[in-house]
Structure 1
Amino acid sequence: MPSSVIKYYNYFPDTEILRIIYQSEAVYEYFKVPEPVFTQFREARSKGQFLNKVIKPRFKYRKISD
């Protein structure tokens, strides 16, 4: 999963939380992300574009760390 924006990601299906660890080491959690949306994200050719176009505008989030 080479990405210039995203270093790692984890998805927690029980809570529908998508955790993104950015290349900058900042960590964000996106809430109530349905599993089909996560699947689309995981399969997206550009995860950064998918994150910016689909996930960020639709789902609440919080910053966990810098």
Structure 2
Amino acid sequence: MGLGDKLKHAAEETAGKIKEKAGHATGNVRLEAEGKAQQAAAHVKDAKEAAGDIAEDIADRFTED
């Protein structure tokens, strides 16, 4: 996973946290839920990229001479 992807996912997670806090502070349940969903999406993207990196590493080990 590249640094750009990590930064993009971190920014998405931060935006989600801000939405969640704003929704909680104003009593806007929908905004709070959107924030939580945005954070979850960022975590899923991180996990997907990390799994891809691990798969690449494993494949490299089996194809090395």
- When normalised by structure 2's length, the TM-score is 0.27
Flag the structure with higher strand content: 1
Greater helix content: 2
